Amino acid sequence: MTAATSGENAEVLTFNERNIAEFRANGGTLSAFGDAPVLLLTTTGARSGAKRVSPMMYRPHDSDPDTIFVFASNAGGPRHPAWYYNILAHPHDLVVEIGRDTLTAEARVLDSDDRDSVYRAQAEQFPGFADYETRTSRVIPVLALRLHRTTPIPPDDPARHGVHVNLESPDLQHISLVGDTYTVLVSGEDTAGAYTLIDMLVPEGGGPPPHRHDFEEMFAVLDGEIEVDLRGVTSTARKGDVINVPPTRRTGSSTAARSRPTCCACAPRPARSATSR
């Protein structure tokens, strides 16, 4: 299903403009498409060279997160949509907006066998696509878009497993530090150095003295309240609040009311090698 058709129909353009504005305002969702996955595809005009934005549905690849499929259905119209010809002319000059992400991409038209398999799966999930085929004598092209991510999604690591923690488990590690009790819920070893999750039981008036760290800290206050001092500016976080402390030269925090205030997540800086803290 595509919202764009020829680019010459003013009514369709107005409809597209509304959809584009809604998509960008709502973080990548469109009420006209319901729960279907949608994106904005920017192509370069085959003749004009102008940038054209088209909202459309897409289908994720079964196993490759950097490949998605789009369908030149034109709602079963007699001609391919204009964006299809734009891609044929400029297959490496594409911009894809998915959710709140904006990525460059390149495209290729699937051959008949791959096309039939992907289109059949799409039509089974979204029967409108089966209806489009009955409306037209043309074969509706299916294109694979290869997304270019600034930070590629890492390959699956079968050696890693999910971590399920019970707060009452006797196997948890408890650390006593400056009068506080820290319980390591998820360690850096569990997350390959991405972060550590700690349950902090801090008595009234407790908390670490001013200190320096080179990693991110995020506190979610479960009960009571804490005061966090960052570069001489004090913030008070209460039950239900979340506060993030960036890598800094000097910071201090202390509770001001009830105990058991926080869960704390610590993450190393991206530029550093993964370490457990």
Q: Is the pLDDT of residue 257 over 80?
A: no
Token code pair at residue 89 = 């002319």
Mean pLDDT over the full length of the chain? 83
Q: Is the pLDDT of residue 43 over 80?
A: yes
Contacts of 117 (CB under 8 A, 6+ apart): none
Rounded-to-integer distance, Cα 268 and Cα 277, Å: 8
> In this structure, which amino acid lies at residue 176?
S
Confidence of residue 233 (pLDDT cuts 50, 70, 90): confident
Rounded-to-integer distance, Cα 86 and Cα 46, Å: 5
First to last CA, the chain: 49
Q: Are 103 and 27 in contact (CB under 8 A)?
A: no
Q: What is the pTM of this model?
A: 0.55
Q: According to the 3-state scheme, what is the secondary structure of the chain?
A: CECCCCCCCHHHHHHHHHHHHHHHHCCCCCHHHCCCCEEEEEEECCCCCCEEEEEEECEECCCCCCEEEEECCHHHCCCCCHHHHHHHHCCCCEEEEECCEEEEEEEEECCHHHHHHHHHHHHHHCCHHHHHHHHCCCCCCEEEEEEECCCCCCCCCCCCCCCCCCCCCCCCEEEEECCEEEEEEECCCCCCCCCEEEEEECCCCCCCCCEEECEEEEEEECCCEEEEEECCEEEEEECCCEEEECCEEEEEEEECCCCCCEEEEEEECCCCCCCCC
pLDDT digits (tens, 9 = 90+) for 85-141: 999 999 999 999 999 899 999 999 999 999 999 999 999 999 999 999 999 999 999
10-148: CATH topology = Pnp Oxidase; Chain A (2.30.110)
Token code pair at residue 103 = 């990525």
Q: What per-residue confidence (pLDDT) applies to 261?
A: 47
Q: Are 262 and 182 in contact (CB under 8 A)?
A: no
Contacts of 40 (CB under 8 A, 6+ apart): 20, 23, 24, 53, 54, 55, 96, 97
Q: Is the pLDDT of residue 208 over 50?
A: yes
Parts of the chain belonging to CATH 2.60.120.10: 173-268
Q: What percent of the chain has pLDDT over 70?
A: 81
Parts of the chain belonging to CATH 2.30.110.10: 10-148
Rounded-to-integer distance, Cα 88 and Cα 108, Å: 8
Homologous superfamily, domain 173-268: Jelly Rolls (2.60.120.10)
Rounded-to-integer distance, Cα 96 and Cα 104, Å: 6
Q: Which of 128, 94, 101, 108 is nearest to 61 (CA)?
A: 108
Q: Is the pLDDT of residue 12 over 70?
A: no
